[in-house]
A = this chain, B = another copy of it.
Amino acid sequence: MTATNRWMIKNGSFAVADGDKPVIQGCMVIEDDLIVYVGEETPELDGDIPVMDGTHLFFMPGMINTHGHAAMSLLRGYGDDLALQIWLQEKMWPMEAKFTSSDVYWGTSLSVLEMLKGGTTTFLDMYDHMDQVAKVTEESGIRASLMRGVIGLCPEEVQRHKLNEAIRFARDWHGKAGGRITTMISPHAPYTCPPDFIEKFVQAAHDMDLPMHTHMSETKAEVEQNVTEYGLRPVAHLEKLGVFSRPSLVAHAVHLTDEEIEILAKNKVAVSHNPGSNLKLASGVARVTDMLKAGVTVSLGTDGAASNNNLDMFEEMRLAALIHKGVSGDPTAIPAGEALKMGTVYGAQSLFLNNVGTLAPGMKADFIALNTDQAHFLPHTDLISHAVYSACGKDVEHVWVDGKQVVKHGACLTLDEERIRREAQAAFESLLSR
């Protein structure tokens, strides 16, 4: 039996979920991969344990990015400000069709590097060549919910092959990387997968007891197409196909009726709200306040870097807190504390992880420290307000996942930053010339 690695942070400010005091000054004790204490008092502990000084640091749960396609960072800035169909057909799809396993490895490495340094400790990835994404997850120390996203607009034989690949990946990697990887089953979207194909994914998810993830109602056009083709809006369509009989998470959910919000709430379907991507692609503004009011779990995702164009979850929190105020005319909509939960604990709930997303005893030690000794964090009126309304990913000083430090003073300890930058640039140039 190996000795327990126990250490303590003193003199820090800590974001501790609910209650009268969402921020406390005090102490946190970590034992191996777990938080074992957080509170205002310094506990009496046996023996000398290492102490880190938390002065000028604000400790909060690591951010949880609940929707994305990490390898798409290779296409960051390659085609902005275009109509959606031109962007997809002339820019994204031709380049993505050329992606090799190596491209996915380096593109994902670039994204994971950006996410870790920016305070994201868990990410969801729906893409192809997923073994590479799992490999980067293993190497980097990040936590991830991974899945092969399958587009079903192809012959039955190809469909069968892709489904088997998705099942194989989900089975092989679930629980791996010391438990940091979990998997889901993921048909890409109702408009890219025929109904009988989606039903096969539902069956697979039941068989393996895994949750499901899909894009849904991102654009008005796809909702209209769903009604034309199947006589139902996407929510009723997916409910009918059995998707919501599984724990499930849908991305975007921009265009919803009151009735659809009720169906999501009734089925406990979580929503990944992607404000940056939805604005940039002009998809619209999701009805987040209505969803939250109805009891739907709404978390935050960056989507791929090609439509964002960064993976800074602080920006997504701020966008969520700002746009729903501006569009609704209600300055009390999505207050800072709620935006922070969307970026953390609601993210954990959306990925069906019950041991991350808050700083509390028994939770995994996935947490970050922001440097509060900076002009834009002063005065120290309300650190949660500052984290949501003033911070950016570059304010993150340290990051721990599963109790291990992965970012120290802004530098990533687990990845070769210089090599990743070089290889990502080379991969893009090679894609252009292929």
Contact = CB atoms under 8 A, between A and B. Distances in A.
Nearest to A115: B375
A390 B76 contact: yes
Contact of A326 (B113, B284, B331, B427): B284
Interface string A318-344: 110111011111111101100000000
A421 B429 CA distance: 44
Contacts of A322: 276, 279-280, 319
A375 B420 contact: yes
B310 A373 contact: no
Given A77-B390, A81-B331, A326-B323, A379 B282 contact: no
Residue from A84, A318, A373 whose CB has the most chain B CB atoms within 10 Å: A318
A425 interface: yes
Contacts of A279: 322-323, 325-326
Contacts of A421: 373-375, 378
A80 B323 contact: no
A331 B113 contact: no
A8 B331 CA distance: 49
Interface stretch (A9-17, A381-389, A400-408): A381-389
Given A279-B323, A379-B76, A332 B82 contact: yes
A1 interface: no
Contacts of A326: 278-280, 282-285, 323
Contact of A331 (B280, B319, B321): B280
Nearest to A421: B378
A380 B183 CA distance: 32
A335 B78 CA distance: 13
A27 B158 CA distance: 53
Interface in A363-403: 373-376, 378-382, 385-386, 389-390, 392-395
B389 A77 contact: yes
A430 to B, nearest CB: 11
A245 B393 CA distance: 45
Given A323-B323, A326-B284, A373-B421, A332 B78 contact: no
Given A81-B335, A114-B376, A392-B394, A284 B329 contact: yes
A82 B331 contact: yes
Interface in A268-298: 276, 278-285
A326 B275 CA distance: 9
Task: Kindly list the 4 A-B residue pairs having the minimum CB-CB distance in the complex, ordered from nearest.
Answer: A279-B326, A379-B428, A81-B335, A77-B381
Interface of A: 73-78, 80-84, 87, 110-111, 113-114, 117-118, 276, 278-285, 305, 308-312, 315, 318-319, 321-323, 325-333, 335-336, 373-376, 378-382, 385-386, 389-390, 392-395, 417, 420-421, 424-425, 427-429
